[in-house]
Structure 1
Amino acid sequence: MARLQEVCRDLRSKNAGPFWVTIDIFFDGAESFRRYAHHPALGAEAIGKLFGVDPALVKRFPVESLEMIKISYPRRTPQGGVEERDLHAGQQFVRLLDLDLD
């Protein structure tokens, strides 16, 4: 059973403005990219559920030449708001580390 952290060379999240978060998933090679880039666990439905946002608003951008996918989703509250827990969104990727991909 493969977990996302086992098939990636880098996984990071970051602020994409006051209303969006972006996650970059760099796979460890072309084979991993082909096998997992379109896996349902990394689909809009799963990401929406995981981060508590409307799946229709989740954006996915596979970049085959870089063997990575970029996933963007709206913040539940604006950056810097009273309920904000991760101002720079640098820890949001942690929820993805143990995703089961098999």
Structure 2
Amino acid sequence: MTRLQDLADVLRSKNAGPFQVTIDLMFNDPGVYRRVRDSGVLTSERIGTAYNIEASAVRVIPFDRVRAIKVTMPRRFGSNGSGSAFDRDVYGAQQHGPLAEFLVP
């Protein structure tokens, strides 16, 4: 088992508009990309549980051509949008932490 942060060459989060965050996972090695993509670890249900959001609101989108996986979900804090009163991360740049710890067989 290997942590996702040790497999991805890029693991980052950012705004995907004022109400969503996207997490990008990028891989240089095609074999590592396929390992992660096919592992069954990155499911909407599992990510929803880790982030305490509804699984139906999580989208996991693999892009084979560029060896990348995009996870898009609603912002956990600041449901009134980026920069609202309780928003802790205006840019969405610190939201990849829970995903980084996922273990991949």
TM above 0.5, one fold?
yes
Q: Which runs of 4+ in 1 moved over 4 A?
A: none
Any unmatched runs of 5+ in structure 1? none
Counterpart amino acid of residue 14 in structure 1: K
Aligned match of 1:29: 29
SS state at 1:60 partner: strand
CA distance in 1, matches of 2:23, 2:9: 14
What percentage of aligned pairs have identical amino acids?
36
CA distance in 2, matches of 1:85, 1:14: 13
Aligned match of 1:79: 82
Any unmatched runs of 5+ in structure 2? none
Aligned match of 2:47: 47
User: C-alpha deviations, 1:12-45, integer Å up to 9, x for none?
Assistant: 1000111100000012411111111143331100
User: Is contact 1:7–1:28 with CA below 8 Å preserved after alignment?
Assistant: no
What displacement does 1:101 show? 1.0
Count of matched residue pairs: 102
User: Is contact 2:47–2:99 with CA below 8 Å preserved after alignment?
Assistant: no
C-alpha RMSD of the superposition: 1.3
Aligned match of 1:57: 57
TM-score by length of 2: 0.89
Structure 1 residues 4 and 11, CA, compared in 2 at 3 Å: closer, same or farther?
A: same
